[in-house]
Each structure stands twice: as C-alpha cells, then as structure tokens.
C-alpha cells in the first residue's frame, strides 16, 4: 500500500547519508564522474534496489516472512552459478556440495508437514 512512498524516502535519505560517509571514510580514492558512472550508480541504486524492494513488499503480502527469508540463501548460490556461466569459473566438488546442502535446507524448511 505505502511501499512506493517508503521506497522514495528510503532511497532519498540513504543516498545523501552514504555520500557523506563515503566522503569521510573513503579518502584518497580518485573518482572520475562521467555520464556512464553516474548512470550506473542511478541504475543500481534506483532501478535495481527499487525494483527488488517493490517485488519483496508485494511478495510479503502473500507469503509469511519466515518462509521467504530462507530464499536469501539462494543469493550466494546464484552468484556461484552465474560466475560459472558468465566468468568461466570452475565449479569444484566443494562448491557443488555446498550448493546441494543449501538447496536441501531450503527444501526442508519449506516442505509441508
């Protein structure tokens, strides 16, 4: 219901805070402000974060948070799989075993009793 307004306030307040904190703590790094770098920041900050937040709030209306939080464990798994597909990283038996354990855990948490 109010997720759009919350998103605007969340991003509108956090961006200036992070800019100030980065200015204080990230000294000595050269930043070249180009149209491409600014567009990338806006895309990741507003489009990706905003889209994910809106999807999450709409999904939370239908399902319990305790059931959905388990899927956050898919992030490292998807990172490993995408790095294998896009960057030609090797999938070792350790990585595949860990991925299988994460998948089994998600299944166990979400299966009907």
Write down the mean pLDDT value for the chain. 80
Q: Which two tokens stand for residue 81?
A: 């799989």
Q: What is the mean pLDDT of residues 41-56?
A: 78
Whether pLDDT at 27 is above 80: no
Residue 88 confidence (pLDDT) above 60: yes
Whether 1 shows a pLDDT value over 60: the answer reads no
Q: Which two tokens stand for residue 18?
A: 């992070």
Domain count, the chain: 2
Instruction: Indicate whether 73 and 57 sit together in one domain.
Output: no
CA 45 to centroid of chain Cα atoms: 11
Residues 16 and 58 in one domain: yes
Of 104, 103, 54, residue with least CA distance to 78 = 103
Give the Cα separation of 60 and 54 in Å (integer): 10
49 and 81 fall within a common domain: no
Instruction: State residue 97's pLDDT score.
Output: 92
């Amino acid at each position: 219901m109010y997720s759009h307004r919350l998103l605007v306030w969340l991003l509108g307040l956090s961006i200036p805070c992070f800019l100030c904190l980065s200015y204080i703590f990230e000294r000595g790094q050269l930043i070249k402000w180009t149209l491409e770098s600014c567009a990338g920041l806006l895309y990741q900050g507003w489009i990706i974060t905003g889209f994910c937040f809106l999807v999450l709030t709409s999904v939370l209306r239908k399902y319990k948070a305790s059931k959905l939080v388990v899927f956050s464990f898919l992030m490292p798994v998807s990172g490993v799989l995408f790095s294998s597909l896009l960057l030609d990283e090797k999938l070792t038996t350790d990585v595949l075993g860990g991925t299988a354990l994460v998948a089994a855990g998600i299944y166990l948490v979400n299966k009907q009793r």
